[in-house]
């Protein structure tokens, strides 16, 4: 999606929660940043927008896991909730936040999700 011009791009980060009260949707658009892993874009968003916050845990050899966004944390046990990361086509990204590098013009959605079967996310 989009072209990668002169080494800089813009990416929109969208967060949505439709399952836990108080429901919310929020977005942050980042401009003129070099193409980089999603975790770094989250850090830029938190630095630039006082209304955007996140926490993540680093797992050696696996990368970062997004624990919470704007104070809403997933809890696998007992709720089976987590932050699902979707690309512009609303498909789960194939790798994690440490490896995924969004394309210029991409909308990355962090969707708070409740797993309905017994498999891990």
Are 87 and 38 spatial neighbours (Cβ–Cβ below 8 Å)?
A: no
Within-domain flag for 46: yes
**Taking the mean position of all CA atoms in its chain, how far away is CA 30?**
13
Q: Is 65 part of a structural domain of the chain?
A: yes
The pLDDT value given to residue 9: 87
Q: In this structure, what CATH number is given to the domain that contains residue 21?
A: 2.170.130.30
- Residue 119: pLDDT band with limits 50, 70, 90: low
User: CB of 118 within 8 A of CB of 85?
Assistant: no
Q: For 47-91, how does the pLDDT look when each residue is reduced to its tens digit (9 = 90+)?
A: 999 999 999 999 999 999 999 999 999 998 888 999 999 999 999
Q: Which residues span the domain enclosing 27?
A: 8-114
Total tally of structural domains belonging to the chain: 1
How high is the mean pLDDT of the chain? Answer: 91
Give a yes or no: residue 121 inside a domain: no
20-35: b (≥16 Cβ within 10 Å) or e: eeeeeeeebebeeeee
**What is the pTM assigned to this prediction?**
0.87
Position 4 pLDDT exceeds 50: no
E strands within 42-106?
A: 54-59, 63-69, 72-73, 81-86
């Amino acid at each position: 999606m989009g072209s990668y011009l002169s080494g800089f791009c813009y990416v929109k980060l969208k967060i949505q929660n439709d399952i836990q009260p108080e429901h919310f949707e929020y977005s942050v658009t980042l401009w003129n940043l070099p193409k980089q892993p999603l975790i770094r874009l989250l850090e830029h968003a938190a630095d630039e927008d006082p209304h955007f916050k996140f926490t993540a845990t680093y797992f050696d050899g696996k990368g970062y896991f997004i624990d919470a966004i704007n104070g809403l944390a997933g809890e696998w046990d007992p709720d089976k909730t987590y932050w699902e990361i979707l690309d512009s086509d609303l498909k789960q990204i194939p790798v994690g936040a440490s490896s995924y590098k969004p394309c210029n013009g991409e909308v990355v959605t962090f969707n708070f999700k409740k797993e309905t079967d017994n498999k891990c996310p």
